[in-house]
Amino acid sequence: MASTTIPEAFYDLFEKRTFAHFATVTDDGSPHVTPVWIDYDSESNRLLVNTERGRRKERNVVANPSVGLSMVDPDDPYRYLSVIGEVDEITTDGAREHADVLAGRYTGTAEYPSEIRTERVLLEIRPVEVL
């Protein structure tokens, strides 16, 4: 059944090492899909993708905010969540700190492990349809 919010029964996907496949649209209309670390802010009902300024996914959503995500429960490959949404904000506010939080969940380290060449940005995604 489709909805416009993430069902509470799936909040646990955002507490474990669940990778999402994040689809954006390129300038020529082709899909661009990359695996990403994923988070969810239930208060604002926004999925959060943290990336670096200038990366292809950030450039794509600036031009076309329509996106898709799918994620599979790492403990049960038959349990999944699929979201069609729209990036309604791109912000640097708290993005660097958020990268450290995600690094803790995904790598067990206290800080984001890779060199940051530009700056971190948060892509805030409003779900339009959740399956």
Q: In terms of DSSP bridges, do strands 66-73 and 76-91 run parallel, antiparallel, or are they unpaired?
A: antiparallel
In a domain, residue 26? The reply is yes
Residue 19: is it exposed, middle or buried by C-beta count within 10 angstroms (0-12/13-18/19+)?
middle
In a domain, residue 1? The reply is no
The helix or strand, by DSSP H or E, that contains position 120, with its residue range, turns out to be strand 120-130
In a domain, residue 20? The reply is yes
Q: How would you label 41-75 residue by residue, b for 16+ Cβ within 10 Å and e otherwise?
A: eeeeebbbbbbbeeeebbebbeeebebbbbbbeee
Query: Domain of 32?
Result: 8-130
CATH number at residue 59: 2.30.110.10
Q: Are 13 and 106 in contact (CB under 8 A)?
A: no
Give the pair of three-digit tokens for residue 95: 């993005």
Query: What confidence tens digit (pLDDT) does each residue in 30-86 have?
Result: 999 999 999 999 999 999 999 999 999 999 999 999 999 999 999 999 999 999 999
The helix or strand, by DSSP H or E, that contains position 57, with its residue range, turns out to be helix 56-63
Q: What is the number of domains present in the chain?
A: 1
Inform me whether the pLDDT recorded for 1 exceeds 70.
no
Closest to 51 in 3D by CA, of 124, 125, 126, 122? 122
Query: Percent of the chain beyond pLDDT 90?
Result: 89
In a domain, residue 109? The reply is yes
Whether this prediction's pTM lies above 0.85 is answered by yes
